[in-house]
Structure 1
Amino acid sequence: MNGAQGNGVRATPWLVCRHRRPQARIRLYCFPHSGGSPGEYVRWADDLPDVEVLGVQLPGRGSRLMAEPLTSLPSVLSRLLDSAEFEPPFAFFGHSMGGLTAYETARCLAERGRPVPEFVMTSACTPPGHPRDNGLRTLPDAELLAAVDGRFGGGLPPDLGEDATLRDLIMRSMRADITLSETYEPLPGPPWTGPLHAIGGRQDLPEEILARWEEFTTGPFSLTMLPGGHFYFRDPAHRRSLLGHLEGLLAGATAGQRRM
Structure 2
Amino acid sequence: MTTATSPWLVCRRRRPDAALRLYCFPHSGGSPGEYVRWADTLEDVEVWGVQAPGRGSRVAEQPVTSVREFVDGLLAATEFRGPFAFFGHSLGGLTAFETARALREAGRPMPERLVLSAYPAPHLDHPRTPLHTLGDAELLDAIDRRYGGLPAALREDPGLVELVLPAYRADFTIFETYRHASLPPLDTPITVLGGDDDLATPLLPEWRRHTTEAFELRLLPGGHFYLRERPEEFMNVLRSVICP
TM-score band by shorter chain is over 0.9
Contact 2:11-2:36 at 8 Å conserved across structures: yes
1:139 aligned residue (119, 134, 158) = 134
Aligned residue runs from structure 1 range 208-247, under 5 A: 208-235=202-229, 238-247=230-239
Q: What whole-Å deviation, never above 9, does each CA across 1:128-152 have from its counterpart, x for those lacking one?
A: 1232421111111111100100111
Partner amino acid for 1:18? R
Deviations 1:186-214 (A, max 9, x none): 24532222101111011113543111111
Give the structure-2-normalised TM-score. 0.96
The C-alpha deviation readout for 1:15-70, integer Å capped at 9, x for no partner, is 00000000001000000000100101100001100000000000111111111100
- Shift in Å, 1:164: 2.1
Name the residue aligned to 2:144.
149
Alpha-carbon distance, 1:161 to partner? 2.9
Partners of 2:33 and 2:200 lie apart in 1 by: 28
Q: Say which SS state the counterpart of residue 212 (structure 1) adopts.
A: helix
Counterpart Cα distance in 2 of 1:200 and 1:207: 6
1:104/1:187 contact within 8 Å kept: no
Q: Is the 8 A contact 1:196 1:221 kept in 2?
A: yes
Q: Indicate if the aligned counterparts of 1:132 and 1:181 stay in contact, CA closer than 8 A.
A: no
Residue among 86, 97, 114 paired with 1:92: 86
* Conserved 8 A contact 2:29-2:171: yes
2:113 to 115, 119, 124: 119
Q: Distance in 2 between matches of 1:132 and 1:24?
A: 41
Does residue 193 (structure 1) correspond to residue 191 (structure 2)? The answer is no
Q: Are 1:183 and 2:177 an aligned pair?
A: yes
Alignment partner, residue 15 of structure 1 = 9
* Among candidates 94, 104, 110, match of residue 98 of structure 2: 104
Task: Tell me how far apart the structure 2 counterparts of residues 128 and 102 of structure 1 sit (CA, whole Å).
Answer: 12
The Cα RMSD (Å) is 1.3
Unmatched 5+ residue regions in structure 2? none
After superposition, residues 155-166 of structure 1 pair within 5 angstroms as 155-166=149-160
Q: Is this contact kept in 1: 2:120–2:201, CA < 8 A? A: no
What is the identity percentage for the equivalent residue pairs of Structure 1 and Structure 2?
53
2:57 alignment partner, one of 52, 63, 79: 63
Aligned residue number for residue 3 of structure 2:
3
Aligned residues of 2:118 and 2:201 also touching (Cα < 8 A): no
1:71-92 CA-to-partner distances (Å, cap 9, x unmatched) read 0000010010000111100000
Deviation at 1:165, TM superposition (A): 2.5
The alignment of Structure 1 onto Structure 2 pairs a total of residues equal to 243
Structure 1: any 5+ residue segments left out of the alignment?
5-10, 253-260
Q: Deviations over 1:92-138 (max 9, x none)?
A: 00000000000111111111111100110110111112324211111
Counterpart CA distance in 2 for 1:42 and 1:169 is 22
1:165-191 per-position Cα deviation (integer Å, ceiling 9, x unaligned): 320121110000000001111245322
Given that 2:154 and 2:161 are in contact with CA atoms closer than 8 Å, whether structure 1 keeps it comes out as: yes
TM-score by length of 1: 0.90
